[in-house]
């Protein structure tokens, strides 16, 4: 009897118990596999979203920086185009263009080779810019960009469209003195990009402070580089006359029409 009891205690699982254990194992395995599949799909989707968002942000930030650093937005107002053209103060970077080519956005500064702002992981489906003028205020560049993740997987496909507006000052009104931070260092205009007219309500000092009752005071020579140009005076009768010199150092006078007396 004792041997039978020991033999009974050593018997294995029954068939029903085995089936129950196998069913539980299969259910748990299927649950874990489904979780792994869902996690993988979420990861793939999130990777495509992050890549698209990162590259859109980089393009928009680059455009914003260059627009604010530019001297002129060289585009026709209210006309949408795929190329943003900016005039820069530095001659080596002028002009700077940002444009769409073969589903990629490129940056070209001056005569340097174009630099891609996006890579092959995404496709830029649309890149368009429009300039809007606000006379006396800010010029605005509207940037419209549509980007999709470059993949054949339907689960990883992702597309995003953004529209941003960037402003820069094209004209300014000052309510205080306009002073450079360092004396005798900076210029107003330059050769090839000179200002047209200058209007002042009182004296102008060149190398010296202006004096009340005089329009121009200078400690240097006034140089007239053209032989036919001279100094124009207004006579009491309202007519004008130009004073020049001939090769014998004689003063010559030439009548000038009233229209030529005015700028």
Residue where a domain terminates, one of 153, 169, 185:
169
198 located within any domain: no
The pLDDT of residue 7: 46
Q: Examine the domain organization and report whether 227 and 146 are in the same domain.
A: no
162 located within any domain: yes
Q: Examine the domain organization and report whether 159 and 36 are in the same domain.
A: yes
Domains of the chain: total: 2
2 located within any domain: no
Q: Examine the domain organization and report whether 156 and 39 are in the same domain.
A: yes
Cβ atoms < 10 Å from Cβ of 145: 23
Q: Which residue has the tokens 């700077």?
A: 96
Whether the CB-CB separation of 130 and 142 falls below 8 Å is answered with yes
Given a cut of 70, the residues of the chain with pLDDT beneath it are 1-13, 38-44, 135-137, 169-176, 181, 258-263
Q: Examine the domain organization and report whether 136 and 261 are in the same domain.
A: no
195 located within any domain: no
Please classify residue 84 by burial: count the beta carbons closer than 10 Å to its beta carbon, then call 0-12 exposed, 13-18 middle and 19+ buried: buried
Tokens in use for 245? 């010199």
pTM: 0.54
Q: Examine the domain organization and report whether 126 and 236 are in the same domain.
A: no
Q: Examine the domain organization and report whether 161 and 38 are in the same domain.
A: yes
263 located within any domain: yes
The pLDDT of residue 183: 76
Residue where a domain terminates, one of 169, 196, 212:
169
Residue where a domain terminates, one of 169, 188, 208:
169
Q: Examine the domain organization and report whether 37 and 132 are in the same domain.
A: yes
143 located within any domain: yes
Q: Which domain holds residue 135?
A: 28-169
- E strand or H helix that includes residue 160: strand 159-169
**Alpha carbon 173 to its chain's center:** 23
The pLDDT of residue 17: 73
208 located within any domain: no
Q: How do residues 135-156 score in pLDDT, each as one tens digit?
A: 656 788 999 999 999 888 877 7
Q: Examine the domain organization and report whether 151 and 243 are in the same domain.
A: no
For residue 18, give the 3-state DSSP assignment.
helix
């Amino acid at each position: 009897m004792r041997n039978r009891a020991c033999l009974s205690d050593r018997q294995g699982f029954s068939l029903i118990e085995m089936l129950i254990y196998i069913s539980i194992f299969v259910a748990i395995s299927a649950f874990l596999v489904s979780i792994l599949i869902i996690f993988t799909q979420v990861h793939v989707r999130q990777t495509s979203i992050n890549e698209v968002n990162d590259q859109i942000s980089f393009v928009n930030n680059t455009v914003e920086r260059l627009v604010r650093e530019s001297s002129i937005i060289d585009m026709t107002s209210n006309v949408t185009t795929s190329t943003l053209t900016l005039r820069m103060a530095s001659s080596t970077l002028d002009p700077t263009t940002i444009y769409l080519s073969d589903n990629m956005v490129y940056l070209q500064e001056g005569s340097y080779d174009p630099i891609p702002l996006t890579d092959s992981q995404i496709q830029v489906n649309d890149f368009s810019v429009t300039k809007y003028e606000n006379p006396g205020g800010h010029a605005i560049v509207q940037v419209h960009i549509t980007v999709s993740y470059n993949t054949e997987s339907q689960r990883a496909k992702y597309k995003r469209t953004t529209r941003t507006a960037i402003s820069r000052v094209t004209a300014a009104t000052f309510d205080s003195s306009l002073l450079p931070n360092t004396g005798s260092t900076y210029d107003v205009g330059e050769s090839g990009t000179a200002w047209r007219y200058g209007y002042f309500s009182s004296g102008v000092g060149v190398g010296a402070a202006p004096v009340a009752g005089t329009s121009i005071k200078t400690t240097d020579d006034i140089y007239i580089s053209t032989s036919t140009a001279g100094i124009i005076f207004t006579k009491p009768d309202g007519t004008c006359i130009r004073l020049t010199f001939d090769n014998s150092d004689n003063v010559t006078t030439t009548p000038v029409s009233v229209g030529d007396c005015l700028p």
